[in-house]
A and B are shown apart, each in its own frame.
Chain A
Amino acid sequence: MQSRNIKIFDFGRPLLRMFALWLLLSAGSAVASLTIEIVGAGANQIPVAIVPFRAEAGLAQRITPVVAADLARSGLFKTVDPGGMNPVPHEPEQLNYAQLRARGADAVVIGSVTKAPDGRYDIRFRVMDAVKQTQIAGFVYFATEGQLRLTAHKIADVIYEKLTGDTGVFATRIAYVVKRGPRYELHVADADGYGAQSVLGSNEPIISPSWSPDGSRLAYVSFEQKKPIVYVQSLTTGGRLAVAAFRGSNSAPAWSPDGRRLAVTLTRDGGSQLFMINADGSGAPVRLTQSAGIDTEANFAPDGQSILFTSDRGGGPQIYRIAASGGTAQRVTFEGSYNVSPRHSPDGKSFTFIQRNNGRFNVAVQDFATRQVQVLTDGGIDESPSFAPNSKVILYATEVGGRGILAAVSSDGRIKQRFTADVGDAREPAWSPVVNK
């Protein structure tokens, strides 16, 4: 029964921890969802036929529509209609490649769902090369009913990875702040905007959410004590800790890649300066920068060796780099008089930031090696950019019709998406890391 060329993924074991987290988040009452609208498209879209899996029609959550939506949303795929095939193919030997090629498909996804004796679902699928008529990938997942949607995202990740060569990020999540009237809520949703959950509600502002590298905690700034204080909150337990509540303002938390420390902006010594603290709140802060200007918005390089930050030590705000151990800072942005909010790409090759040109604030990317800057958006009021974990997409906040919304742009600027919350203003987005990949 088990085919040799299918890899088995049992959600019960290696991914148990992540699922505990996932289920916990899914357990609460669902709140407002985000709807995604694609504004642009990639230059070369891979045509792929996704055949509905055998026996998925009876599931509470069908698999292939989610897979197709994920792939379409990336802008890199064109879904080819697989309808009207007889028989509907679920196994490789049932595939009519001539028919698929005639419809323009370069690849085809087939699969089936079977209920296992333990009540879980056995979901197996294959990605077939329609040109070479060979198998590109084959996997089996065992999932409970509550894990069906995540399974679909995992399948989309496999297809994306096999056909583009880049890591898929459909099975990740995003955090963002929603403001509804006087109420602020910190939300966590799937990367497709589905299943949003509120993890914190407050009558005072919440800003700067930041994922821990293992995706289990969020650091953020809350004004609930009538001043900015940095908290770290566990997504598994909901427990939280004020990790920076010093005299003055405490803000801009940034995780070290090992998840043990945070760079934060403190004003306790006068002025806004960067400090390192332990993520568990222990010990005393160690001052990282010594300037007469503002130093804030720290962000660690993926290797943990250096930090980018915003500083106006030279006049207007520009982006600087400093060793994580301190020392002399080097200025890295030179175009324009206002460059802020730096965030490294996870591959370490570039960083995204906000650049002001003629009073308009847009998302830009600068390559570390060439120092070349590319402005990716034209919204004019864009802020808080953050990379997807595959470095291919940048999530940011903007405004449309006076309402705050989230938007995403591919790192080459070609593909744009808008996430529209059904109520309230969405802002301050942050993309989760890939967990237990």
Chain B
Amino acid sequence: MKRLLLAVTALAILAACSSTPTMEQDGAAVEDRSGTAAAQAPAVTAPVTKGPTTTPLAPTGVSGNPLKDPSNILSKRSVFFELDSNVVKDEFKPLVSAHARYLQQNRNMKMTLQGNADERGSREYNLALGQRRADAVKQVMLLLGAQIDQIETVSFGEEKPRATGHDEASLAENRRADIVYPND
């Protein structure tokens, strides 16, 4: 059964690759004008067409992946929460909506939202609190146009703290949901 599933998945991936050569498969965005796309272009035996021809812009020198571009809001990946809260604060709305828009514009793109909690209290309950935070970010993204099958929400609870201190600043750093893309 598992083998069959693998085979089906592999077929699906192959199908996706062959049928949609212009779609981004690997985290590159529609704005991508990098050399990679241009370099691949000659390999495609395009049917002879009449009418206007298109020419890609020359590479700008900037890495084409907006997810990795430090000047792009999409490179920001963490949403922080108050104690015992799963409310997405206003200061994180631009970040969340930028990622929601990105998913909307890249329907094949998947995302994992990883919820986290501070270390106080039950590990399993904290796992559920982290899940609730990831789910809260997902809800906002769905409202802004992301599709439900694009986002998986999981939780690390208190198990993978980014800050290992026990002071309030460290605890706050760990009350967090992280946005993770497949190629991160």
Contact = CB atoms under 8 A, between A and B. Distances in A.
Interface string A216-257: 000000010011100000000000000000011101100000
- In this complex, the member of B112, B114, B124, B157 whose beta carbon has the largest number of chain A beta carbons within 10 angstroms is B124
Contact of B123 (A249, A267, A270, A428): A428
B120 A272 contact: no
B20 interface: no
Given A267-B131, A294-B132, A356 B159 contact: no
Contacts of B127: 207, 228, 249, 251-252, 265, 272, 296
B129 interface: yes
A354 interface: yes
A228 B154 contact: yes
Given A223-B159, A249-B131, A249-B154, A361 B123 contact: no
Contact of A207 (B112, B121, B123): B123
Nearest to A295: B128
B160 A205 contact: yes
Contacts of A208: 123-124
A267 B156 CA distance: 13
A142 to B, nearest CB: 43
A313 B128 CA distance: 13
Interface string B123-139: 11101110110010000
A354 B159 contact: no
A157 interface: no
B97 interface: no
A226 B160 CA distance: 11
A296 B124 CA distance: 7
A383 interface: yes
B131 A341 contact: no
B71 interface: no
Contacts of A297: 122, 124-125
A340 B120 CA distance: 12
B82 interface: no
B120 A252 contact: no
A271 B135 contact: yes
B152 interface: yes
Nearest to A317: B125
B155 interface: yes
Contacts, number: 92
A345 interface: no
Contact of A341 (B112, B124, B132, B153): B124
A247 B160 contact: no
- In this complex, the member of B129, B131, B153 whose beta carbon has the largest number of chain A beta carbons within 10 angstroms is B131
Interface string A263-295: 001010011100000000000000000000010
Given A249-B131, A267-B131, A294 B125 contact: yes
A207 B159 contact: yes
B86 to A, nearest CB: 10
Contacts of B121: 317, 338, 340, 354, 356, 361, 383
A398 interface: no
Contacts of B159: 205, 207, 223
A352 to B, nearest CB: 13
Contact of B152 (A205, A248, A428): A248
Contacts of A270: 135
B170 to A, nearest CB: 13
Interface string A326-356: 0000000000001011000000000000101
Given A249-B131, A270-B135, A272-B128, A383 B153 contact: no
A271 B159 CA distance: 19
A13 B160 CA distance: 47
Contacts of A411: none
Contacts of A310: 122, 124-125
B122 A248 contact: no
A383 to B, nearest CB: 6
Contact of B128 (A223, A296, A338): A296
Contacts of B125: 294, 296-297, 310, 317, 340-341
Nearest to B129: A294
A428 B124 CA distance: 11
Contacts of B131: 248-249, 267, 271-272, 294
A256 to B, nearest CB: 18
A248 B155 CA distance: 8
A151 interface: no
17 contacts: A205-B156, A207-B123, A207-B127, A227-B155, A248-B131, A248-B153, A249-B154, A267-B155, A272-B131, A272-B132, A294-B125, A294-B131, A294-B132, A340-B124, A340-B125, A383-B121, A428-B123
Given A310-B124, A317-B125, 16 more contacts: A205-B156, A208-B124, A223-B156, A223-B160, A227-B112, A248-B131, A248-B152, A251-B127, A267-B155, A296-B127, A317-B121, A340-B122, A354-B121, A356-B121, A383-B122, A428-B123
